[in-house]
Amino acid sequence: MQTTKGCTQMKVHNILTKKNVKASPVGLNTVQMLRAASSFLKMSPHDAMRVAEKLYTMGYITYPRTETTKYASSFPFESFLNDFAKHPTFGKYIPSIQKNFTK
């Protein structure tokens, strides 16, 4: 193998590509959510639950006190994403999510 130090030109002989697929993150249960809020956001458990409940009532997250980490197979993802697309801040991300969406 030759060193590239002092070279003014190089020739590419081969390009390898690899598809890297990451699994979607698993949802947080209540205990994990409270730990994350405390560690990363420095929030008290009371404040974290208050915010989570407000996000739930506004329709942005599933019920915060449930311990499930999966959506029901009947959950209307497409409808939810279409509704969320109207959000003034986060709506711009929906087309990319819809493009890469898999159940």
Distances from the Cα of 16 to the Cαs of 1, 13, 20, 22, in angstroms? 18, 10, 13, 19
Count of residues in the chain: 103
Residues catalogued as catalytic: 63
CA–CA gap between residue 70 and residue 31 (Å, rounded):
16
